[in-house]
């Protein structure tokens, strides 16, 4: 988290990181095509350790595609993506390595309905990191405490509210001790009264120093928590800045237009 | 994408995939080779060729076969009219909404139809090629002509009069039935014609009973509900073949001696009741799929319960389950082969009987005839399924 | 409307009674105790045994072919269904052709074909097709190796039970180890291995009470092994091929019905494709598929009655033969319908129970 700054945009482009940590995610010249439609155009982006980067933009701008390329849920067609020092290629081992170090939280939670909350969280650590059950469950309970719903441990996702489910989803992603947490519109599918409980958890996470990349429409969150705000439109990064700069004095036309529509 | 890149992506992605492709390719190749060899080289298809009319219309007297031709043309014409009317309405609706519909040229249209309906077109072509005389070609031309003409006229007729067009598919069977039966009674039917007639008549006749059972199951009288549930579950729990056997032997016991219906009627009763039980379940599902809000709104404007069901709920329910009903008809179409067991001259019986004819006895030609019979059914069933899926998409079941 | 239904029922009953009196055929079930008067091929049933015994034999045959059919069709159908979703174009297309082919051909056609055009074409016993010690195929039947005990059948059974218990214990132990250390359990492999070892050791210790007999062509007889009648083989093959195509569609549909988000979440958690399938997709797919699978099993059981076309002596065929041997038609068919109803109810109840147990827990 940085102090407020004034003056011209402190980030000339998205490859300049805030803070002093080493670079965790690097995208260079990334393109993505769906048939004839170009979803991503020449994306250059760097994210450093402990940075919180919020990506905003109109629908269809490619934000979701971008974040899904990072853990290879989508395959990029050109350019390089390097996560935690490992370059994403067709080699399945590199992909699995990247997926182990990234945690993802989805808009529609995607909890496993046939497993209890506890089993949802411990599934990956036990299967992938070969953790013994007792240890996995103890850590899972700690995570549930952290997201403030330890009493739900033995319920099934179908018995929980949306906000509770999303918090479990966050705990599930954290259980793998990832280096980076990726959030794809985590609150867009929630009823208004439940959005805050999830945002509070995400703010805690940021305060504790997690590297986060968040695609969202929640401008309040961006203003409060983000180190950098990235604005995307038509598949490219249009503008980057600190929240203060961004919301008070954006430079690009498209940015101004978008902000005027939503603020 | 070139052929090589396609093969790389779909057949040889990695080492295990490549091995799979090679092994599967060997097996599939062998099967295809044997099949083609049978179809083109070693199969003796003259047994089918010589008995083509037996397969298609059984022992229907030759002098009366013009009736079949007239029926075919009439059905084609009505089908064309209905299709044209539907297409015309869609076009008018689209124009009214300001959308632009594409008008593909005739060449593109033909390609589209061939790609879609290649099984039935292929079968008709095969049958024409197998036939020895020229008259089948004329019949085919007449049928296609009637269908095209109907389509044209149907599209041009304005919706106001067009409503009458939709009555035709219901009226036509009622008219065709006595027409086809002619002076010889129902025992003259056979072959594919018998299959289609049995299936169609049972499907249409089962509707009243099916609807009664579905409505009875939802009624507030517990006795009525119990009877409906009992009847439906009973006929869904027993094999159709037993009912068919019973219709031959035991059904006669349920009727007074002098009123005993003929064999064909008895078996149709069995099919009808059996299908009615399944249709009842389908309609029940349809009734449940109509949102409660519809009933409530109808009651709120003061319609009586009977009118609510009849005018508001039932029509929507039926529209929603048209694909399921077509599916049931397809099953019925295949199930009519069961009358083979009680000696009716339908397609399977013909396939068996012709191998015992003097010129063909004892030569193991049952393979050829059975393959032909299977082909007839496969084309019919596959085409109906495909059209049902298209219908489902067109109706946007679940939308509106 | 109720009155109309009641009136109809009374009229029908009246007709039945009148007809029964006129034709002098009794409506009672006494005939069940009478001697059957017909033999049943392929079994040890004698003509002098009662009709009821014949029906029991028929029921046994129905159950035999239905159970075997259900098991085989499920295995084959599952493979084809998963193959349909394969990324390999050839496998996927082949599965598609198989399904589209057999779903659209009437079952009776398939049955008649396998009987007349396949199994009846098998060579005579003298010229039987043999694979040394494994298979003897002829018009007499299909003979495969079978086990035979020397009278200590119960002991062998006890040994089997012991092996099963050991397998269960080993599986529990391996799961416990996996929980403690996090390493994969391999419970299936370990349990099977242990069971086999226990069984083999037990057999040796008992002095070999179990004997594997291989079928041999001995002059004009088949010695050893067990012979499956061709009617049974034809009916079973047809039922399996037909039902498997339906099951394949159900399996495919149920796997595709699992929301894409589930696969994505499992992928994002770095689970391998095998782990994804086993722990996330298949459990959910199975829940969706259960009612439809139960329906297919019900259909297969009812379809076994088509055996009337090829002389396999299951329930319906035996009833038909009994009626030809002078059993009264209406009560016979009544009994037949009742038995099928009971079978249907049993299978439905079983399916519903499984469905309820597996239902996803919701609010």
Q: If DSSP states are collapsed to H, E and C, what string results for C245-288?
A: HHHHHHHHHHHHHCCHHHHHHHHHCCCCHHHHHHHHHHHHHHHH
Mean of pLDDT values over C48-56: 81
Could you tell me the CA-to-CA distances from B234 to B74, B314, C114, C341 in Å, in that order? 39, 25, 31, 7
Please answer yes or no on whether B374 and C105 come within 8 Å at the CB atom. Answer: yes
Higher pLDDT, A261 or C150: A261
Cα torsion B330, B331, B334, B340: sign: negative
C91 at interface of B, judged by CB pairs closer than 8 A: yes
**Cα dihedral value B307, B308, B309, B310, nearest 10:** 40
The minimum CA-CA distance between C86 and chain B, rounded to whole Å, is 10
Residues 6+ apart with CB under 8 A from A14: A43, A44, A45, A46, A228, A230, A237, A240
Please answer yes or no on whether C264 and A106 come within 8 Å at the CB atom. Answer: yes
Give the distance between the most distant pair of CA atoms in chain A: 55
User: What is the full DSSP assignment across C151-215?
Assistant: S-HHHHHHHHHHHHHHHHHHHHHHHHHHHHH-S---HHHHHHHHHHHHHHHHHHHTT--EEEEPP
Predicted local distance difference test score (pLDDT) of residue B395: 65
Predicted local distance difference test score (pLDDT) of residue B399: 40
- Tokens for C273, please give them: 């494709």
C121 at interface of B, judged by CB pairs closer than 8 A: yes
C360 at interface of B, judged by CB pairs closer than 8 A: no
Please answer yes or no on whether A130 and C283 come within 8 Å at the CB atom. Answer: no
C272 at interface of A, judged by CB pairs closer than 8 A: yes
Interface test with B, best of C2, C79, C102, C104 (most B CBs within 10 A): C104
Mean pLDDT for chain A overall? 89
Could you tell me the CA-to-CA distances from C114 to C231, C237, C238 in Å, in that order? 9, 7, 7
Q: Which residues of A touch C181 (CB under 8 A)?
A: 130, 132
User: What is the full DSSP assignment across B372-392?
Assistant: HHHHHHHHHHHHHHHHHHHHH
Please answer yes or no on whether A114 and C287 come within 8 Å at the CB atom. Answer: yes
Q: Which residues of B touch C329 (CB under 8 A)?
A: 246, 249-250, 253
Interface test with A, best of C269, C279, C287, C289 (most A CBs within 10 A): C269
Question: Can you give the pLDDT of all 400 residues of chain B as single tens digits?
Answer: 677 877 777 777 777 788 888 898 999 999 999 888 888 887 788 888 888 888 888 887 777 778 888 888 888 888 888 878 877 777 777 777 776 666 667 777 778 778 888 888 888 888 888 877 778 888 888 888 888 888 888 777 777 776 777 777 777 877 887 777 766 677 778 888 888 888 888 888 888 889 888 888 888 888 888 888 888 989 988 999 999 988 887 777 777 666 667 788 888 889 999 999 999 988 888 888 888 888 888 888 888 877 887 888 888 888 788 888 888 999 999 999 998 888 888 888 888 888 888 877 777 788 888 999 999 999 999 988 888 888 777 765 444 3
C10 at interface of A, judged by CB pairs closer than 8 A: no
In Å, how far from its chain's centre is CA A198?
13
Please answer yes or no on whether C262 and A110 come within 8 Å at the CB atom. Answer: yes
pLDDT band of residue C1 (cuts 50, 70, 90) is low
| CA pair distance A87, A91, nearest whole angstrom | 10
Please answer yes or no on whether A158 and C279 come within 8 Å at the CB atom. Answer: no
Which of B21, B237, B373 comes nearest C344 by C-beta?
B237
Residue found by looking up tokens 């990072």 in the block: A70
Smallest CA-to-CA distance from C59 within C325, C231, C328, C305 is with C305
Residue found by looking up tokens 């077109």 in the block: B121
Residue found by looking up tokens 């700054």 in the block: A5
Q: Which residues of A touch C174 (CB under 8 A)?
A: none
Confirm if C53 and C31 have CB atoms less than 8 A apart. no
Q: Say if residue C311's pLDDT is above 70.
A: yes
**Cα dihedral value B55, B58, B64, B70, nearest 10:** -50
Residue found by looking up tokens 């098991």 in the block: C71
| CA pair distance B29, B33, nearest whole angstrom | 6
pLDDT band of residue C100 (cuts 50, 70, 90) is very high
Which of C94, C303, C337 comes nearest B24 by C-beta?
C94
Condensed to tens digits (0 to 9), the pLDDT of residues C176-216 reads 888 888 788 888 888 888 888 888 888 888 776 677 777 77
pLDDT band of residue A159 (cuts 50, 70, 90) is very high
Condensed to tens digits (0 to 9), the pLDDT of residues A204-261 reads 999 999 999 999 988 889 999 999 999 999 999 998 988 988 888 888 888 888 888 8
Cα torsion C74, C80, C81, C86: sign: positive
Query: How many CB atoms sit inside 10 A of residue B20's CB?
Result: 19
Pick from B183-187, B361-365, C164-168, C249-253: least confident:
B183-187
Cα torsion C308, C312, C314, C315: sign: positive
C273 at interface of A, judged by CB pairs closer than 8 A: no
In Å, how far from its chain's centre is CA C346?
15
Q: Which residues of C touch B381 (CB under 8 A)?
A: 103-105
Q: Say if residue C36's pLDDT is above 80.
A: no
Pick from A213-227, B195-209, C82-96, C140-154: least confident:
C140-154
Q: Which residues of B touch C107 (CB under 8 A)?
A: 334
Please report, in angstroms and rounded to a whole number, the separation of the first and last CA atoms in chain B.
39
Interface test with C, best of B17, B211, B229, B241 (most C CBs within 10 A): B241
Which of C22, C89, C109 comes nearest B348 by C-beta?
C109
Task: Determine how β-strand A52-56 pairs with β-strand A211-215.
Answer: parallel
Q: Quick one: chain B helix, strand, coil %, rounded to 5?
A: 80, 0, 20
The minimum CA-CA distance between C193 and chain A, rounded to whole Å, is 23
C303 at interface of B, judged by CB pairs closer than 8 A: yes
- Tokens for B175, please give them: 């008219």
- Tokens for B220, please give them: 């507030």
Mapping DSSP onto H, E and C, the string for C98-118 reads HHHHHHCCCHHHHHHHHHHHH
Q: Say if residue C324's pLDDT is above 70.
A: yes
Confirm if C150 and C209 have CB atoms less than 8 A apart. yes
Condensed to tens digits (0 to 9), the pLDDT of residues A142-158 reads 999 999 999 999 999 99
Pick from B255-259, C171-175, C324-328: least confident:
B255-259
Mean of pLDDT values over A66-79: 93
| CA pair distance C186, B260, nearest whole angstrom | 68
Q: What angle do CA A24, A25, A26 make, to 5 degrees?
A: 125
The minimum CA-CA distance between C170 and chain A, rounded to whole Å, is 19
Look up residue C50 and give its DSSP letter. Answer: B
Residues 6+ apart with CB under 8 A from A257: none
Please answer yes or no on whether C179 and A158 come within 8 Å at the CB atom. Answer: no
The minimum CA-CA distance between C55 and chain B, rounded to whole Å, is 15
Residue of C nearest to B7 (CA): C89
What's the number of CA atoms in the CB half-sphere (13 Å) around residue A140? 25
Which of C16, C104, C112 comes nearest B377 by C-beta?
C104
Interface test with C, best of A110, A133, A166 (most C CBs within 10 A): A110
The minimum CA-CA distance between C97 and chain B, rounded to whole Å, is 11
Which of C265, C270, C360 comes nearest A106 by C-beta?
C265
Q: Say if residue A8's pLDDT is above 60.
A: no
Query: How many CB atoms sit inside 10 A of residue A175's CB?
Result: 24
Q: Which residues of C touch A129 (CB under 8 A)?
A: 182
Residue of C nearest to A175 (CA): C269
Could you tell me the CA-to-CA distances from C154 to C42, C150, C158, C204, C319 in Å, in that order? 26, 10, 6, 16, 35
Predicted local distance difference test score (pLDDT) of residue B398: 43
Q: Say if residue C306's pLDDT is above 90.
A: yes
C333 at interface of B, judged by CB pairs closer than 8 A: yes
Residue of B nearest to C300 (CA): B239
Helix residue ranges, H only, A90-234: 92-101, 117-127, 133-146, 162-174, 192-207, 219-225
Smallest CA-to-CA distance from B210 within B295, B289, B274 is with B274
Interface test with C, best of A94, A126, A127 (most C CBs within 10 A): A127
| CA pair distance A105, A222, nearest whole angstrom | 17
- Tokens for C14, please give them: 């009246």
Give the distance between the most distant pair of CA atoms in chain C: 82
pLDDT band of residue C25 (cuts 50, 70, 90) is low
C339 at interface of B, judged by CB pairs closer than 8 A: no
| CA pair distance C313, B295, nearest whole angstrom | 53
Helix (H, G, I), strand (E, B) or coil at A47: strand
pLDDT band of residue A10 (cuts 50, 70, 90) is low
Predicted structure pTM score: 0.83
Confirm if A52 and A225 have CB atoms less than 8 A apart. yes
Give the distance between the most distant pair of CA atoms in chain B: 76
Pick from A109-123, A177-191, C118-132: least confident:
C118-132
Smallest CA-to-CA distance from C311 within C167, C112, C48 is with C112
- Tokens for B345, please give them: 């001259």
Please answer yes or no on whether C362 and A106 come within 8 Å at the CB atom. Answer: no
Please answer yes or no on whether A156 and C269 come within 8 Å at the CB atom. Answer: no
Confirm if C133 and C145 have CB atoms less than 8 A apart. yes
C85 at interface of B, judged by CB pairs closer than 8 A: no
Residues 6+ apart with CB under 8 A from C75: none
Q: Say if residue A11's pLDDT is above 90.
A: no
Cα torsion B99, B103, B109, B112: sign: negative
Chains that touch C (3 or more CB pairs under 8 A): A, B
Please answer yes or no on whether A124 and C270 come within 8 Å at the CB atom. Answer: yes
C87 at interface of A, judged by CB pairs closer than 8 A: no
Chains that touch A (3 or more CB pairs under 8 A): C
Q: Is B123 exposed, middle or buried (0-12, 13-18, 19+ CB in 10 A)?
A: middle
Rounded to two decimals, the ipTM of the complex is 0.87
Q: Say if residue C42's pLDDT is above 80.
A: no
Residues 6+ apart with CB under 8 A from A231: A55, A56, A57, A237, A238, A239, A240, A246, A250, A252, A254, A255, A258
| CA pair distance B83, C177, nearest whole angstrom | 68
């Amino acid at each position: 988290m940085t102090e407020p700054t004034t003056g011209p945009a402190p980030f000339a482009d998205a490859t300049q990181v805030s803070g002093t940590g080493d670079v965790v995610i690097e995208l260079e010249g990334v393109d993505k095509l769906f048939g004839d439609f170009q979803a991503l155009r020449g994306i250059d982006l760097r994210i450093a350790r402990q940075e919180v980067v919020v990506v905003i933009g109109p629908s269809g701008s490619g934000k979701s595609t971008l974040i899904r390329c990072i853990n290879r849920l989508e395959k990029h067609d050109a350019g390089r993506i390097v996560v935690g020092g490992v370059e994403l290629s067709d080699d399945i081992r590199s992909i699995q390595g990247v997926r182990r170090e990234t945690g993802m939280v989805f808009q529609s939670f995607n909890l496993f309905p046939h497993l209890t909350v506890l089993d949802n969280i411990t599934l990956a650590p036990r299967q992938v990191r070969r953790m013994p059950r007792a240890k996995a469950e103890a850590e899972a309970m700690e995570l549930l405490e952290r997201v403030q719903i330890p009493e739900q441990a033995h319920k099934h996702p179908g018995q929980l509210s949306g906000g509770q489910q999303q918090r479990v989803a966050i705990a599930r992603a954290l259980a793998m001790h990832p280096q980076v947490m990726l959030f794809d519109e985590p609150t867009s599918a929630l009823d208004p009264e439940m959005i805050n409980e999830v945002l509070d958890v995400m703010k805690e996470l940021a305060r504790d120093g997690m590297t986060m990349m968040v695609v969202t429409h929640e401008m309040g969150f961006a203003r409060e928590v983000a180190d950098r705000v990235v604005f995307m439109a038509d598949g490219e990064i249009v503008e980057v800045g600190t929240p203060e700069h961004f919301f008070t004095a954006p430079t690009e036309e498209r940015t101004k237009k978008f902000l005027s529509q939503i603020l | 994408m070139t052929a090589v890149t396609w093969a790389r992506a779909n057949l040889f992605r990695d080492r295990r995939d490549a091995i799979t492709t090679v092994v599967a390719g060997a097996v599939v190749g062998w099967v295809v080779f044997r099949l083609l060899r049978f179809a083109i080289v070693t199969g003796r298809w003259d047994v089918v060729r010589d008995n083509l009319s037996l397969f298609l219309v059984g022992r229907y007297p030759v002098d009366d076969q013009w009736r079949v031709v007239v029926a075919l043309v009439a059905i084609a014409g009505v089908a064309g009219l209905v299709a044209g009317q539907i297409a015309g309405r869609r076009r008018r609706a689209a124009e009214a909404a300001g959308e632009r519909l594409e008008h593909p040229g005739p060449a593109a249209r033909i390609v589209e139809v061939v790609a879609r309906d290649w099984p039935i077109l292929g079968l008709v072509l095969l049958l024409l090629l197998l036939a020895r005389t020229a008259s089948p070609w004329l019949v085919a031309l007449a049928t296609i002509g009637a269908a095209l003409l109907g389509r044209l006229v149907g599209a041009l007729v304005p919706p106001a009069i067009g409503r009458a067009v939709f009555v035709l598919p219901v009226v036509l069977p009622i008219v065709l039935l006595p027409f086809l039966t002619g002076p010889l009674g129902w025992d003259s039917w056979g072959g594919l014609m018998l299959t289609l007639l049995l299936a169609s008549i049972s499907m249409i006749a089962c509707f009243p009973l099916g609807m009664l059972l579905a409505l009875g199951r939802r009624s507030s009288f517990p006795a009525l509900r119990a009877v409906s549930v009992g009847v439906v579950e009973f006929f869904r729990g027993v094999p159709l073949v037993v009912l068919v056997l019973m219709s031959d032997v035991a059904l006669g016991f349920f009727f007074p001696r002098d009123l005993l219906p003929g064999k064909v009627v008895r078996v149709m009763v069995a099919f009808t009741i059996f299908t009615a039980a399944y249709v009842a379940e389908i309609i029940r599902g349809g009734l449940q799929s109509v949102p409660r809000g519809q009933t409530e709104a109808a009651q709120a404007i003061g319609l009586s319960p009977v009118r609510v069901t009849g005018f508001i709920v039932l029509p929507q329910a039926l529209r929603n389950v048209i694909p399921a009903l077509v599916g049931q008809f397809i099953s019925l179409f295949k199930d009519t082969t069961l009358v083979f067991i009680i000696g009716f001259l339908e397609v399977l019986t013909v396939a068996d009987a012709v191998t015992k004819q003097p010129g063909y006895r004892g030569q193991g030609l049952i393979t050829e005839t059975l393959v032909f019979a299977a082909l007839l059914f496969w084309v019919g069933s596959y085409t109906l399924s495909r059209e049902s899926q298209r219908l489902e998409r067109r109706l946007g079941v679940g939308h509106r | 409307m109720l009155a109309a239904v009641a009136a109809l029922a009374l009229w029908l009953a009246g007709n039945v009674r009148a007809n029964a009196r006129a034709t002098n055929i009794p409506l009672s079930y006494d005939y069940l105790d009478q001697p059957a008067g017909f033999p049943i091929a392929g079994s040890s049933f004698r003509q002098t045994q009662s009709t009821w015994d014949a029906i029991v034999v028929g029921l046994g045959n129905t159950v035999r072919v239905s159970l075997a059919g259900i098991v085989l069709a499920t295995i084959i159908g599952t493979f084809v269904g998963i193959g349909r979703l394969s990324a390999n174009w050839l496998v996927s297309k082949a599965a598609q052709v198989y399904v589209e082919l057999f779903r659209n051909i009437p079952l009776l056609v398939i049955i008649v074909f396998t009987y007349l055009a396949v199994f009846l074409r098998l060579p005579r016993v003298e010229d039987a097709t043999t694979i040394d010690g494994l298979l003897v195929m002829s018009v007499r039947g299909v003979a495969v190796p079978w086990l035979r005990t020397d009278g200590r059948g119960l002991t062998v059974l006890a040994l089997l039970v012991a092996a099963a218990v050991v397998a269960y214990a080993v599986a529990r132990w391996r799961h416990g180890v996996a929980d403690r250390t996090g390493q994969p359990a391999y419970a299936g492999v370990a349990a099977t291995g242990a069971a086999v070892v226990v069984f083999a050791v037990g057999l040796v210790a008992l002095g070999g009470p179990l004997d594997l007999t291989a079928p041999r062509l001995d002059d004009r007889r088949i010695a050893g092994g067990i012979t499956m009648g061709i009617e049974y083989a034809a009916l079973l093959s047809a039922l399996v091929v037909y039902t498997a195509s339906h099951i394949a569609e159900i399996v495919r549909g149920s796997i595709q019905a699992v929301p894409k988000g589930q696969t994505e979440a499992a992928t994002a958690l770095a689970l391998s494709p095998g782990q994804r399938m086993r722990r996330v997709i298949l459990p959910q797919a199975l829940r969706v598929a259960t009612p439809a699978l139960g329906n297919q099993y019900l259909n297969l059981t009812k379809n076994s009655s088509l055996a009337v076309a090829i002389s396999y002596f299951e329930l319906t065929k035996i009833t038909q033969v009994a009626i030809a041997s002078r059993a009264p038609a209406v009560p016979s068919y009544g009994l037949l319908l009742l038995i099928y109803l009971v079978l249907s109810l049993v299978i439905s109840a079983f399916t519903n129970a499984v469905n309820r147990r597996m239902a996803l827990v919701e609010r």
